[in-house]
Chains A and B, each alone.
Chain A
Amino acid sequence: MSGPGPGTPPPTSEPLLRVEDLHVSFATEEGVVKAVDGVSFDLAAGEVLAVVGESGSGKSVTAMTLLGLTRSSNAKFEGAAHYKGTELIEASEEQLRRVRGAEIAMIFQDPMTSLNPVHKIGDQIIEQIQEHEGLPDQQARERVVELLDKVGIPRARERVDNYPYEFSGGMRQRVMIALALSCDPSVLIADEPTTALDVTIQAQILERIRELRRETGAAVIVVTHDLGVVADIADRIVVMYAGRIVEEGTLDEIFYDPKHPYTWGLLGSITRVDRPRPERLPAIAGLPPSLADRPEGCHFRPRCPHEFAQCTQVPPLESRGDERSEHRDRCWLTGEQKRELREVRPGEIGLEDKAGAGAG
Chain B
Amino acid sequence: MSGDPPRVFPVDEFVREELYPGYKQAFGSQPFVAGPVRPFSLADNERYWLRDSLHFSEGMVPASVATLDDAQTWGAQLGAEIVGVPPTLGSVNRLAGTHVYIGTIDVDTQWQVQARAARFGQYVSPVLADFESYWAARAGELQSAYDHFDNLDLAAMSLPEVWTVLKDAYAFHRRAWFIHFEVMYVLTANYLAFYALAEEIGLSGSQVSAFLSGQETFYSRTDEELWRLAGLARSLGLEPALLSGSTADMRARIAARPHGATWLASFDQFLSVYGQRVEETCRIDIPSWTEDPSPALYSIGAFLSKPAGFDFHAARAAAVAERDAQVDAARRSLNGGDLVRFNEALASNLAANFAWWNEEHNYLIDRRAAIPVRRATLELGARLASSGEIADPADLFFAFKPELFGAMSGGGSASWAELRAMVPDRRAYFDYWRERGPSLPPMLGTIPEVVPDPIMIEVFGLSGRFLETMRGDTPAGASAAAGDGLVATVTEIRGFPAAKGVVEGVARVITTVADLHLMEPGEILVCGGTTTEWTPAFGIITACVCDTGGSLTHAAIVSREYGIPCVVGTAIATQVVKTGDRVRVDGRAGTVQVLAR
Are A and B a genuine interacting pair, yes or no? no
Interface set of A (CB-CB < 8 Å, partner B): none
